[in-house]
């Protein structure tokens, strides 16, 4: 499953995907949306300007994958007591930025779902796949979502640096992590292909 993005006129990109690839990508994007959580619905009668300045959480998420998607700004998770000042600065930064970051990540994943859903009529006609065409704006959302998916899966696989990905290629088929590893490597190839396509 090694899709390869190609440039299209107007600054977008296109990739041929089969039905299985479309299904996997959509499922992963939906799971990412579930992990990130629902958006904040505006309260009836609430001042929209006040909603813009609403504060978010100040503590890092407990889930390691969410902690990777929403990392500490100044102090890492292993910071000791002498780094209390950095912890306080990180908490303050998170309080004013995490809501927007969650909204952006949610928008990225939703774009993946919606663009893949636009292919449904083509794949349901029995053609077995379709060519996904993305606008330049869609490409940026896809890059964000592909990155978030890789970070999430990488965290679940306990991948900490690029050297470990070599070990991932050598996993035996009997390893229960193999399907997740294949998805991780495939998403990396897709992401790299899209980055290369968008480079001038």
Angle at alpha carbon of residue 174, lines to 168 and 179, rounded to 5°: 55
SS3 state of residue 166: helix
Q: Name the percent of the chain lying above pLDDT 90.
A: 44
> 143 is written with which tokens?
């890059």
Look at residue 75 and tell me if it is in a domain. Answer: no
Q: Which of 80-84, 101-105, 137-141 has the lowest mean pLDDT?
A: 80-84
> 145 is written with which tokens?
């979502």
pLDDT for the residue numbered 172:
85
Look at residue 126 and tell me if it is in a domain. Answer: yes
Instruction: List, for residues 157-187, the tens digit of each pLDDT value.
Output: 888 766 566 777 788 888 888 899 899 989 9
Look at residue 136 and tell me if it is in a domain. Answer: yes
- State the average pLDDT over residues 28-49: 77
Tell me how far CA of residue 135 lies from CA of 33, 111, 188, in angstroms: 22, 11, 21
Look at residue 52 and tell me if it is in a domain. Answer: no
> 30 is written with which tokens?
């939906």
pLDDT for the residue numbered 133:
94
The closest alpha carbon to 21, from 128, 127, 164, belongs to 128
- State the average pLDDT over residues 128-140: 91
C-alpha 27: how far from chain center: 12
Contact 5, 197 (CB under 8 A): yes
Query: What b/e readout covers 180-189, taking b as 16+ CB neighbours within 10 angstroms?
Result: bbebbbbbbe
Per the structure, the count of domains in the chain is 1
Count Cβ atoms within 10 A of the Cβ of residue 190 and give its class: 0-12 exposed, 13-18 middle, 19 or more buried: buried
The closest alpha carbon to 112, from 65, 149, 79, belongs to 149
pLDDT band at 86 (very low <50, low <70, confident <90, very high): confident
Look at residue 87 and tell me if it is in a domain. Answer: no
* R_g of the chain, CA atoms, integer Å: 19
Contact 189, 150 (CB under 8 A): no
Residue 41 has pLDDT above 70, yes or no: no
Look at residue 79 and tell me if it is in a domain. Answer: no
Range of the domain at 148: 6-37+57-69+100-198
Look at residue 26 and tell me if it is in a domain. Answer: yes
> Residue 13: what are its φ and ψ, rounded to 5°?
-150, 160
Look at residue 160 and tell me if it is in a domain. Answer: yes
């Amino acid at each position: 499953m090694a899709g390869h993005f190609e440039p299209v006129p107007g600054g977008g990109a296109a990739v041929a995907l089969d039905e299985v690839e479309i299904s996997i990508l959509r499922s992963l994007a939906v799971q990412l949306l579930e992990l990130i959580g629902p958006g904040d619905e505006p309260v009836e009668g609430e001042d929209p300007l006040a909603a813009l300045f609403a504060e978010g959480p100040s503590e890092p998420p407990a889930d390691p994958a969410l902690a990777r998607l929403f990392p500490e700004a100044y102090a890492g998770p292993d910071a000791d007591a002498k780094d209390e000042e950095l912890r306080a600065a990180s908490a303050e930064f998170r309080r004013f930025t995490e809501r927007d970051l969650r909204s952006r990540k949610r928008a990225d994943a939703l774009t993946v779902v919606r663009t893949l859903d636009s292919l449904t009529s083509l794949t349901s006609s029995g053609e077995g796949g379709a060519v996904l065409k993305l606008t330049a704006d869609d490409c940026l959302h896809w890059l964000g979502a592909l990155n978030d998916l890789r970070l999430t899966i990488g965290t679940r696989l306990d991948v900490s640096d690029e050297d470990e990905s070599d070990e991932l290629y050598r996993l035996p088929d009997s390893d229960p992590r193999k399907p997740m590893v294949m998805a991780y490597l495939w998403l990396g190839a897709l992401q790299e292909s899209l980055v290369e396509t968008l480079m001038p």
